[in-house]
Copies of this chain bind each other. A is one copy, B any other.
Amino acid sequence: MALKKKPVTGMKDILPREMEIRNYVMNMIRETYGTFGFSSIETPCVEHIENLCSKQGGENEKLIFKILKRGEKLKLEEAKEEADLVDSGLRYDLTVPLSRYYANHANELPAPFKALQMGNVWRADRPQRGRFRQFMQCDIDILGESTYLAEIELVLATTTLLGKLDFHNFTIRINDRKILKAMAKYSGFPEESFDTVFIILDKMDKIGLDGVAEELEKEGFAKESIDTYLGMFKEITNDADGVRLLGEKLGEVLEPGVAEGLQTIISTVDSVKTADFKMSFDPTLVRGMSYYTGPIFEIAMDEFGGSVGGGGRYDEMIGKFTGNQTCACGFSIGFERIVMLLLERGYEVPTKNGKKAYLIEKNMPAEKLPVILKQAEEERKTGTQINISIMKKNKKFQKEQMMSEGYTEFVEFFRDRM
């Protein structure tokens, strides 16, 4: 029976060229975060359906690949709804599994715990170009560190990584959920409407200050509130000083220490950073997920025209799931976007000692093989990639094919010349 040749809808096979870049980036991630004291962990790709449907995942909960019960547990005839048929599903993010992992293993782990997760997640999104239903997610989290040291180290580690991958001239946009709320409060928006206000504010990138004003008006907010609010955005500068002045203006509306904390993050990162990027205080930065409680950040890259990662502090979420209050701060890196950018750029993964092809004439006597293989062995020891194959009739085509795989040097072995 012939197989269906294409992968399942919305998922993809990965060719050697892309795998080379993926593996390189993964190793670079492990190495870089490793030097910052992060440990790799892993959870199963399959999670309890109850955990996946715990309301933390927002819209993603509608996109779960659900797994059928097995054996006697599947009672098809009695099943009334989908929920009766399934007991688990593929994870749609690494945050739910991290919470479960931490609840399960906290006493075997150091505190604070610095976790690095790289793993596939699945979302049954409408298939569209460049977005796949299986993709690699890469999350870096510090659990149990309440000070801004967590934010500083996360930003330093992540930007060090991007620098090593040859990214330049990017921006870390930073804000604080508490500043976001204080600004809305200061402007006189009612607290129950904050979410509506932030959803509109989040469109600033696309519709500009005037567009935001217009949409806020449409929602029926007071003209005065809107003017005060947008007035602030106009006058704020994007540096640590901008945070300080905004903090002074907001006064008691803002929790003490918040502006100072953000200033510390920005100025410390600025004075220690090695990669080529700038820190930019951006009071319009919202970040979708409602679980953030403190500083939030996003990596903006002109080259990509969007975010290639982001994160923030979420001091309440883990406690909600585990019953033990645990402060936390994390970053999610857009692994697939980074790989895509490197692929498009024609990025060459550095190889240790080159790639070389050995071509052996057909019907080489058995007793001559060891000589060839020993020669290969010596070269392989130094890290050179030696690809040995039998010479084909169409040697020219064979060589061309190998050249497209990165083999630049050829060594030929003939029966009579050995």
Q: Which residues of A contact B (CB under 8 A)?
A: 1-8, 11-16, 19-20, 22-23, 27, 30-31, 34-37, 39-48, 50-51, 54-55, 65-68, 70, 74, 76, 79, 81-82, 85-88, 90, 96, 99-101, 103-105, 108-112, 114, 120, 122, 124, 134, 145, 147, 149, 152-153, 156, 160, 260, 263-264, 267-268, 271-272, 274, 320-323, 355, 357, 360, 366, 369-370, 373-374, 377, 380, 383-390, 401-402, 404-405
Contacts and interface: CB of A to CB of B under 8 A. Distances in A.
Contacts of A268: 366, 369-370, 373
A244 to B, nearest CB: 13
B389 A112 contact: yes
A7 to B, nearest CB: 5
Contact of A13 (B34, B42, B54): B42
Contact of A272 (B51, B111, B374, B401): B374
B85 A44 contact: no
Contacts of A260: 366
A35 B383 contact: yes
B42 A19 contact: yes
Contacts of A30: 23
Contact of A152 (B145, B373, B374, B389): B373
B4 A51 contact: yes
A100 to B, nearest CB: 5
B401 A366 contact: no
A41 B68 contact: no
B3 A54 contact: yes
Contact of A390 (B55, B101, B149): B149
B40 A360 contact: no
Most chain B beta carbons < 10 A, residue from A360, A373, A389 = A389
Contact of A44 (B12, B31, B104): B12
A260 B365 CA distance: 12
